Copies of this chain bind each other. A is one copy, B any other.
Amino acid sequence: KLSSTGSIMGRVFADYSVYKGKASLSLSPVLPTFTRMEYGLRVDRQGKMMLRFCPAVGDRKYDWEKKQLFALSATELGSIISLGPKDSCEFFHDPSMKSSNAGQVRKSLTISPTQDGNGYFVSLSVVNNLLRTNERLTVPLTTAEFAVIKTACSFALPHIIGWDQCTSHQSTTNGEKSWKVGSLDSDSEWNR
């Protein structure tokens, strides 16, 4: 199976991970998917930043089987990128939203500054009323680790919203009119 640029497709597993006393946290970008339409490519499913928490089960051993996931949208990522040193933020997800189990599982991600101001706590809480479980996994981040996350997520953000695809389909005109890359609009603003 070939991608549009001719390379062999497949998943790429590249995480940024921190391993701490009680849990590990791994981040990896998930790109949007596109659908080919008559007039070009359209985003089919939004991209996201996947967070994976694994509980520690020994000295620097983490249980992959008990992992908990939390997928940040572009706007949630915007919260993290713009987080000041004393700011905190919280996101709520219902993984069963729009299904009959809506409201039965509640995930919340909290990022709050440490008391000494030299980092953050990232905490994932999963309350599952169906399984009657209530889990919380917390990973402390140093300023350096959070700087990596901010920088890497700022890099990933335009890719998550698909704008890197706009830029890689650059056309070259030769007198004739080129395809416009962007939106399906016609308006004098296009001709500015």
Contact = CB atoms under 8 A, between A and B. Distances in A.
What is the total number of copies of this protein in its complex? 4
Query: Which 4 pairs of residues, A with B, have the shortest CB-CB distance?
Result: A14-B162, A11-B40, A82-B147, A10-B40
A143 to B, nearest CB: 6
Given A10-B39, A71-B189, 15 more contacts: A1-B179, A10-B169, A11-B39, A12-B169, A14-B43, A30-B182, A31-B171, A78-B143, A79-B144, A81-B147, A95-B192, A151-B154, A152-B158, A156-B163, A159-B167
A39 to B, nearest CB: 6
A35 B174 contact: yes
Contacts of A140: none
Given A11-B39, A41-B172, A188 B95 contact: yes
Interface in A23-77: 26, 28-37, 39-44, 48, 50, 52, 67, 69-71, 73-77
Contacts of A11: 39-41, 169, 179-182, 184
Interface of A: 1, 3-16, 18, 26, 28-37, 39-44, 48, 50, 52, 67, 69-71, 73-79, 81-82, 89, 93, 95-96, 107, 142-148, 151-152, 154-159, 161-175, 178-185, 187-190, 192
